[in-house]
Amino acid sequence: MDTKQTHKAHRVRKAGASAKKKQQKTKNAEKNNPKAFAMQSAQRADRMARRKAELDEKKFHVPMADRTPKVAPPIVVAVAGPPQSGKSTLIKSLVRRYTKHTLSEIRGPVTVVSGKHQRLTFMECSNDISAMTDLAKVADLVILTIDASFGFEMETFEFLNLLQTHGMPKVMGVLTHLDGFKDNKRLKVVKKNFKHRFWTEVYDGAKLFYLSGVENGRYLDREILNLSRFVSIVKLRPLAWRSTHPYMLADRVQDLTDPEVLAANPKANRTVALYGYLRGTHMKGHDRVHIPGAGDYQLDQTEKLADPCPIPDKERKRLDERHKLIYAPMSEVNGVMYDKDAVYIDIRKNAHEEKAEEGEGERMLSELQKVDTISDRLASQQFSLFSGAKPVTADSVRRPAMFDEAVDGQDDGDSDSDADSDADLSDSTV
């Protein structure tokens, strides 16, 4: 017979006098022993207090909506600085790092594919206050080149003031011409002084990179690799004005005016086509736009074209399926470019190919480039009314007389009219 005794499980009191008494004991546990619940580290307490203050401050600001589409347009990277500070060399080095393509000359925007989901448009800022103002309106990231052998110049401060006026984008600094310092101790002091001065002008913690020297017309690969990685992963803050207004940085400009009209009147009104990536919001077909330096105009037509530098969206299955990693129409990059009604083929030769004979296809393209207007063709034509007479050209033919001027000669005789016609004929053939 099983004589083992069983007991019920203890049930904690959830109401009544005993439960209230126990709650009062656990409620004041921190007050009874404050040292047991104090911060062990003063640095950690400072960080937590700062973090709490930042979270409270964010509640007072309206969250800014990011209107970037799924396939974002290229990020505009402006390279600014005083003359002879290494702007062109820096862009060439970055383009070489991203695309393995060597540019002989930087002219206009240069768009490259920097990753699986990102593209960059490099734009060199010239030493002109108008160019600085225009580029400050569209730049998403600014790289300031500083000559370490000379220091900060007036162009750098002017451009920073323009950036603050148009909404401060992300700013990075590049210190060049460091190969002139032979003493390592002196070089270390110069780097430290420039870093603190750069932080004073921009903001604390701004990135400043150091480029020590140039080899084969480019900066060192390790230093450019470090800079390119930071450029690719930078987080941009959306600006309110740009996210609510459409704007476009023109990659290419084409004059569509009839050559006959320009030959007759060089100052005639032009029909111009602008190609570029649309940023901000949508643009309608007949909106009024402002072109810096030209004025306000109304769009006649707006069309969506294929992306000239698309993001690689698939794996290459064959070696001949090359992804286009660079798009720089103004810098004369080799390749074929298609438009709505035209095909552009670059047939520029290298130095070792200039002495070679042209093939049949190259001769045909060269002849097609020699376009003459009808006026030019008529000016070179001539004909003779009689055998052995002096040929008649376009310059020797007078303008025809008006009808009112010829009314006075209607009452004359036939002989007089014949004589006048012979005289007119002789004058025109001389």
Burial of 164 (0-12, 13-18, 19+ CB in 10 A): exposed
Radius of gyration for the alpha carbons in the chain, expressed in angstroms and rounded: 37
Give the pLDDT confidence score for residue 348 in this predicted structure.
55
pLDDT at 372 over 70: no
pLDDT, average across residues 125-143: 90
Average pLDDT value for residue range 14-36: 72
**pLDDT for the residue numbered 403:** 42
Tell me the pLDDT tens digit for each residue of 57-82: 877 776 666 677 778 889 999 999 98
Output the six-digit token pair for 147. 């000559």
The reported pTM is: 0.65
Q: For residues 178-198, give the mean pLDDT.
A: 86
C-beta separation of 246 from 281 below 8 A? yes
Compute CA 295 distance to the chain's CA centroid, rounded to the nearest angstrom. 21
Residue type, 413: G
Q: What is the pLDDT of residue 313?
A: 72
Residue in the block written with tokens 């203050």 = 53
Cβ atoms within 10 Å of 167's Cβ, excluding its own: 15
> Residue 145: its pLDDT value, please?
92
Strands 110-113 and 326-327: antiparallel
Check pLDDT > 70 for residue 408. no
Q: pLDDT for 382-395, tens place per residue?
A: 777 787 778 877 77
Q: How big is the CA angle at 342 (ends 362 and 332), to the nearest 5 degrees?
A: 60
Per-residue pLDDT of 245-276, as tens digits, reads 888 888 888 888 888 888 888 888 888 888 88
Token representation of residue 420? 């006048």
> Residues of 222-257 as b/e, b for ≥16 C-beta within 10 angstroms?
ebbeebbeebeeeeeeeeeebeeeebbbebbeeeee
| pLDDT tens digit sequence for 409-421 | 444 444 444 434 3
What per-residue confidence (pLDDT) applies to 384?
78
* pLDDT > 90 fraction of the chain, expressed in percent and rounded: 8
CA torsion 51-53-54-58 (nearest 10°) is 140
For the ranges 34-38, 111-115, 306-310, the lowest mean pLDDT is seen at: 34-38
How distant, in Å, are the alpha carbons of 73, 122, 407 from that of 239?
15, 20, 74
Beta bridge partners of 176: 147
**What pLDDT is attached to residue 294?**
84
C-alpha span between 347 and 338 (Å, rounded) = 15
- Residue 218: pLDDT band with limits 50, 70, 90: confident
**Mean pLDDT over the full length of the chain:** 78
Name the amino acid, one letter, at 65.
A
Q: What is the pLDDT of residues 226-236, one digit of tens each?
A: 999 999 888 88
Under 8 Å between Cβ of 398 and 427: yes
